[in-house]
C-alpha cells in the first residue's frame, strides 16, 4: 500500500505540475515506448526477429490505449486530488480545531493557574484575616486595659487635684465654668456640677467678679498667662489672700478652648513677710538709733582727743591721749562693721566714691597700728613701694575701715615678732593706679583648708585659741573691697603667720592745697546741733579757722534764730530731737526765695551712699561727723570757690554743684547742645516720653531682679541707659550701665542697691533736668 500510495501521489503531483496536455503527451509517449518494448520483446522471443509491422502495431496500440489511460488516470487523479483536497481541508480544520484546543487548553491552564493563585491569595487573606482578628482581639484587650488604666489615672489625678489645697478650675471661651477641684468648691460653697455653666458673676460678689472677668479678658486678648493677687471670701465670711494664675489652653487641633486657673492661699506667707519686714524695719531703726546714740559721745571723744593733740602735751599725756584716740577709733570701726552687717543682711549696701587724701589715710593707719604694737611690745615694719599718690577716688570711710580691720587683726593675733604693712602703687594708665596693701604678721597662722572659710560670716578658725573672733570684720571687709572693684586674698603657714593682700584699682585726682582752700573772708555760721560735745568740737574748729558761730540746739530754736541776711552758711544736723534737718530746710525754702537763702550744709553721722537726697532738699554738700578740719575746709572751698561771687551765683548753686562734680547728675553740655540743635520743644517731648516709659522700665527691671533673671536685668538696664543718655541724665545713665554690666566686681552683691538707687534718684534728676531746660529758655534773648 505504501508504494502504490507513493506512486499515486507521484502521478497526482506530476499531473498537477505538467498540466493535462503535457501529461497526456508524456503518458502517450511512455505507453508507446512500453508497448514497443513489450511487442519487440515478445515478437523477438517468439519469432526471433522484429518487423516494422510490429513496430507500427505497437505504436498504433499505444495511440489507442493512451486516451483511455489518460482518461482513467485523470479520473483517478481527480478523485485522488478531490480526496487530497478534502483531506487538506479536514487537516486544516483539524489544525484549527487543534489550535482552538491549544488556546482553550492554554486558557484553561491560565484559568487554573489564576484559580490556584486566587486560592493561594484567599488562603493568605484568610490567614491574614485570622491574624488581624487575633491582633484586633489583642488590641481590644489592650484598649480595654488602657481604658481601665486611664480611668484609674483619671481617678488618681482627680484625687490628686481634689487633695490639693490650691484652687484648680477651668472656664470656656464664654467665661463659664467647665470644672473645678474640691478647694474651689469649698471656696464658693457649690459643687462642681452646680458650678458648670455658671459665670463669675453668678458665683462671686460683683467687685470680685469684675476683677476675675477683667483678668480673663486679658488672658484671652493677649493669649498669654497672667498672674495676679486678689482677696477672696469663703462662705463663712473668712477672707483669704490668693495668688492667682490663669493660662489659656488649647485642643488637639490648636484651637483655644478656654483658660485654666490656679490659686494659692498666700495669706500666711503675706503675714509672715509683713512680720519680717516689720522686724527688719525695727532692727534697722534700732541699729540707726543705737549708732547715732553711740556715735554722739564717741565723736566727742575723737574730736576732743584730736584737739588735745594740737595742744602742748608732755610725753605721758600725749601717750594717754593717743590711747584714747585709738580706742575711740577702734569703737568707730566696730560700729561701721555692725552697720554694714545690717546693710548686707537687708541688701542695701553700697559704696560712695569720692576724692580722698590718700597720704592722710596711710599716715592714720600707720600711726594707729604702731600705737597698738607698742602697747604689746611688738615690732612694726612699714614700707612704701612705688610712687604713692597724693589723692585718689575711693570711699575713704570704707577703705579706712578695711585696712583698720586687717591691721587690727594682725596685731590682735600676734604675740611674738612683728607686723609689717607694705603699700605698693603700680601705674596702669595716665590717671589710674593699682594699689596693693600687704599686711603680714607672725601669728599662729591659718590652716590651708580654712583660708577661704575665714571670710564667711561668723566663722572661727578651728583648733586655734588665739585666732578666734566673730568673723564680721573679714566678711564685711571683703564685701567692701569687692564693692569698690577690688579683692582680698590671703596666704598663710601654720605657726609662721599670715599675709592678707588687698588689691584695688583707683582713679587719681587732685586735692587743692589747704592754704588755697581757706582763701575767703570769715563767715557768719549758724550751727544747728543738739549734742553738747559735737557743738564744742565744731565751734572750736570753726572759730580756729576764723569764723563766727551761733548755735541752735533744736529745730524750733533754729527756725526762730534764722534770718537769711544774718548768716553766710548754715551747718544743719539731720537728726534733731524735735524734727529732721530736711524738715527745717523745707520750711526755710517755702518761706524764703533761693536768692535769699545762704548755702545749707548737712551734718550726719550716717554713711552717705548718695548726695542726691540732700541736694533735692536744697543742701549743697554733706559733712560727716565727727567733724574734721580737712572735711570743713574742702566743703567751704566747694561752696565758696575762690574768685566767685556767692550772691550772684546763689540762685543756681545746685546747678553749679552739678557742673563742678567729676560725676555730674546731668550732662549739661549735651543738654545745651540739644537745645541749640534740635530745639527745646523736641527735647521736652523726649523728656515727657522718658517720664512715661520709665515706670514701665523699672517695673520690668524690678520683676527681673525678683526673679533673678540676669539676662532680663541686663536687657532692661540697657534700655534705660540708652533712654537716659539721650536726654542728658548722666547719673541715671551711669547707674544703668552698672546694672547692665554683670562682669563688674561684686555685681551680684550690689545690683539690687543700684536698682533701688535708680528708682529713688530718677524723679529728682528729672526735676533738675526740667529746671536746667527752663533756665536755658530764660537765658535766651526774646524776639
- What is the rounded average pLDDT of the residues 19-33? 72
Output DSSP code: residue 252: T
* pLDDT, tens digit, 9 for 90 and up, residues 173-224: 898 998 899 989 988 899 988 999 999 999 998 988 999 999 999 998 888 8
Which pLDDT does position 512 carry in this prediction?
Answer: 46
The backbone torsions φ and ψ at residue 553, rounded to the nearest 5 degrees and listed phi first, read -100, 5
Residue 352 above 90 pLDDT? no
**Can you read off the three cell numbers belonging to residue 352?**
560712695
Residue 499 above 90 pLDDT? yes
Q: How confident is the model at residue 653 (pLDDT cuts 50, 70, 90)?
A: very low
Calpha distance 382→366 (Å, rounded): 7
- What is the rounded average pLDDT of the residues 60-86? 71
* pLDDT, tens digit, 9 for 90 and up, residues 733-769: 888 888 988 887 667 767 887 888 888 888 888 888 8
Give the largest CA-CA distance in the chain: 213
Q: How confident is the model at residue 657 (pLDDT cuts 50, 70, 90)?
A: very low
Residue 608 above 60 pLDDT? no
Residue 228 above 80 pLDDT? yes
Contact 29, 58 (CB under 8 A): no
- What is the rounded average pLDDT of the residues 704-714? 76
Which pLDDT does position 20 carry in this prediction?
Answer: 65
Which pLDDT does position 503 carry in this prediction?
Answer: 93
Lowest-pLDDT range of 143-152, 368-377, 624-633 = 624-633
The per-residue b/e assignment along 335-345, b for 16 or more CB within 10 angstroms, e otherwise, is: bbbbbbbbbbe
Give percent of the chain with pLDDT exceeding 90. Answer: 12
Residue 526 above 90 pLDDT? yes
Residue 373 above 50 pLDDT? yes
* pLDDT, tens digit, 9 for 90 and up, residues 531-571: 775 777 678 778 878 889 999 988 899 999 999 888 989 99
Which pLDDT does position 551 carry in this prediction?
Answer: 92
Helix (H) or strand (E) holding 506: strand 497-508
Close Cβ partners of 436 (under 8 Å, ≥ 6 residues apart) = 422, 423, 424, 425, 426, 501, 502, 503, 504
Residue 576 above 60 pLDDT? yes
Nearest to 346 by CA among 288, 294, 267: 288
Identify whether 626 is preceded by a cis peptide bond (ω within 30 of 0). Answer: yes
Which pLDDT does position 261 carry in this prediction?
Answer: 92
**What length does the chain have?**
783
* pLDDT, tens digit, 9 for 90 and up, residues 431-450: 889 999 999 999 888 888 88
Give percent of the chain with pLDDT exceeding 70. Answer: 78
Give the 3-state secondary structure of residue 228. Answer: strand
The backbone torsions φ and ψ at residue 178, rounded to the nearest 5 degrees and listed phi first, read -115, -10
**Can you read off the three cell numbers belonging to residue 240?**
483669704
Give the 3-state secondary structure of residue 1. Answer: coil
Q: Catalogue the E-assigned strands of 548-629.
A: 548-552, 569-573, 600-604, 619-624
Which pLDDT does position 215 carry in this prediction?
Answer: 92
Which pLDDT does position 388 carry in this prediction?
Answer: 84
* pLDDT, tens digit, 9 for 90 and up, residues 273-293: 767 776 766 666 666 566 656
Nearest to 399 by CA among 280, 510, 485: 485
Calpha distance 358→422 (Å, rounded): 14
Calpha distance 392→508 (Å, rounded): 5
Measured between alpha carbons, how far is residue 703 from residues 437, 706, 708, 716 in Å?
40, 5, 8, 11
Amino acid at each position: 500500500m505504501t508504494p502504490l500510495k507513493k506512486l499515486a501521489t507521484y502521478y497526482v503531483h506530476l499531473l498537477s505540475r505538467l498540466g493535462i496536455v503535457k501529461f497526456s503527451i508524456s503518458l502517450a509517449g511512455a505507453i508507446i515506448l512500453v508497448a514497443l518494448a513489450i511487442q519487440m520483446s515478445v515478437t523477438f522471443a517468439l519469432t526471433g526477429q522484429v518487423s516494422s509491422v510490429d513496430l507500427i502495431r505497437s505504436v498504433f496500440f499505444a495511440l489507442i490505449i493512451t486516451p483511455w489511460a489518460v482518461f482513467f488516470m485523470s479520473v483517478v487523479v481527480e478523485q485522488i486530488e478531490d480526496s487530497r483536497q478534502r483531506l487538506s481541508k479536514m487537516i486544516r480544520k483539524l489544525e484549527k480545531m487543534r489550535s482552538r484546543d491549544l488556546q482553550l487548553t492554554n486558557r484553561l491552564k491560565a484559568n487554573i493557574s489564576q484559580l490556584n493563585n486566587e486560592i493561594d491569595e484567599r488562603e493568605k487573606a484568610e490567614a491574614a484575616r485570622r491574624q488581624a482578628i487575633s491582633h484586633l482581639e489583642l488590641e481590644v484587650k489592650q484598649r480595654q486595659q488602657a481604658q481601665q488604666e486611664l480611668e484609674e489615672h483619671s481617678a488618681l489625678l482627680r484625687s490628686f487635684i481634689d487633695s490639693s489645697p490650691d484652687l484648680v478650675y477651668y472656664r470656656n471661651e464664654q467665661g463659664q465654668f467647665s470644672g473645678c477641684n474640691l478647694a474651689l468648691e469649698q471656696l464658693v460653697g457649690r459643687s462642681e456640677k452646680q458650678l458648670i455653666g455658671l459665670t463669675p458673676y453668678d458665683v462671686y460678689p460683683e467687685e470680685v467678679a469684675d476683677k476675675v472677668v477683667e483678668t480673663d479678658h486679658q488672658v484671652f486678648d493677649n493669649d498669654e498667662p497672667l498672674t495676679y493677687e486678689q482677696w477672696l471670701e469663703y462662705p463663712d465670711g473668712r477672707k483669704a489672700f490668693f495668688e492667682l494664675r490663669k493660662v489659656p489652653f488649647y485642643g488637639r487641633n490648636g484651637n483655644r478652648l478656654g483658660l485654666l486657673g490656679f490659686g494659692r492661699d498666700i495669706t500666711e506667707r503675706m503675714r509672715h513677710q509683713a512680720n519680717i519686714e516689720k522686724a527688719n524695719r525695727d532692727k534697722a531703726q534700732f541699729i540707726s538709733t543705737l549708732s547715732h546714740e553711740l556715735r554722739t559721745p564717741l565723736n566727742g571723744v575723737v574730736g576732743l582727743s584730736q584737739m588735745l593733740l594740737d595742744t602742748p602735751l608732755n610725753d605721758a599725756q600725749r601717750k594717754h591721749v593717743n590711747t584714747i584716740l585709738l580706742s575711740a577709733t577702734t569703737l568707730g570701726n566696730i560700729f561701721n562693721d555692725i552697720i554694714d552687717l545690717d546693710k548686707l543682711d537687708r541688701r542695701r549696701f553700697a559704696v560712695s566714691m569720692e576724692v580722698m587724701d590718700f597720704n592722710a589715710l596711710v599716715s592714720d593707719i600707720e600711726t594707729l597700728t604702731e600705737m597698738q604694737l607698742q602697747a604689746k611690745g611688738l615690732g612694726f615694719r612699714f614700707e612704701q613701694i612705688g610712687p604713692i599718690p597724693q589723692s585718689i577716688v575711693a570711699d575713704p570711710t570704707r577703705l579706712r575701715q578695711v585696712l583698720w580691720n586687717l591691721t587690727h587683726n594682725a596685731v590682735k593675733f600676734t604675740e611674738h615678732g612683728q607686723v609689717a604693712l607694705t603699700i605698693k602703687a603700680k601705674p596702669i594708665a595716665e590717671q589710674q593706679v593699682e594699689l596693693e596693701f600687704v599686711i603680714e604678721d607672725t601669728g599662729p597662722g591659718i590652716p590651708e583648708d580654712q583660708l577661704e572659710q575665714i571670710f564667711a560670716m561668723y566663722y572661727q578658725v578651728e583648733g586655734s585659741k588665739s585666732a578666734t573672733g566673730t568673723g564680721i570684720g573679714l566678711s564685711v571687709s571683703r564685701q567692701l573691697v569687692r564693692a569698690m572693684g577690688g579683692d582680698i586674698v590671703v596666704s598663710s603657714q601654720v605657726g609662721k603667720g599670715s599675709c592678707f593682700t588687698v588689691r584695688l584699682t583707683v582713679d587719681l585726682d587732685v586735692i587743692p592745697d589747704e592754704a588755697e582752700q581757706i582763701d575767703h573772708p570769715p563767715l557768719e555760721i549758724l550751727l544747728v546741733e543738739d549734742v553738747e560735745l559735737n557743738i564744742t568740737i565744731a565751734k572750736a574748729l570753726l572759730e580756729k579757722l576764723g569764723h563766727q558761730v551761733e548755735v541752735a540746739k533744736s529745730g524750733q530754736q533754729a527756725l526762730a534764730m534764722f534770718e537769711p541776711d544774718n548768716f553766710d552758711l548754715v551747718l544743719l544736723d539731720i537728726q534733731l530731737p524735735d524734727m529732721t534737718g530736711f524738715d527745717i530746710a523745707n520750711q526755710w525754702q517755702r518761706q524764703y526765695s533761693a536768692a535769699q537763702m545762704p548755702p545749707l550744709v548737712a551734718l550726719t553721722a550716717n554713711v552717705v551712699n548718695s548726695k542726691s537726697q540732700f541736694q533735692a532738699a536744697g543742701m549743697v554738700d554733706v559733712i560727716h561727723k565727727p567733724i574734721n578740719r580737712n572735711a570743713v575746709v574742702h566743703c567751704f572751698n566747694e561752696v565758696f570757690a575762690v574768685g566767685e561771687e556767692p550772691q550772684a551765683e546763689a540762685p543756681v548753686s545746685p546747678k553749679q554743684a552739678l557742673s563742678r562734680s567729676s560725676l555730674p547728675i546731668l550732662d549739661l553740655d549735651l543738654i545745651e547742645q540739644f537745645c541749640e540743635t534740635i530745639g527745646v520743644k523736641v527735647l521736652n517731648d523726649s523728656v515727657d516720653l522718658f517720664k512715661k516709659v520709665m515706670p514701665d522700665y523699672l517695673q520690668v527691671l524690678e520683676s527681673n531682679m525678683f526673679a533673678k533673671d540676669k539676662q532680663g536685668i541686663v536687657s532692661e538696664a540697657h534700655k534705660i541707659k540708652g533712654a537716659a543718655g539721650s536726654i542728658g541724665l548722666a547719673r541715671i545713665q551711669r547707674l544703668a550701665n552698672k546694672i547692665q554690666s554683670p562682669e563688674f566686681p561684686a555685681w551680684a552683691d550690689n545690683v539690687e542697691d543700684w536698682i533701688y538707687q535708680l528708682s529713688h534718684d530718677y524723679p529728682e534728676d528729672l526735676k533738675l533736668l526740667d529746671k536746667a531746660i527752663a533756665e536755658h529758655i530764660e537765658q535766651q534773648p526774646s524776639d
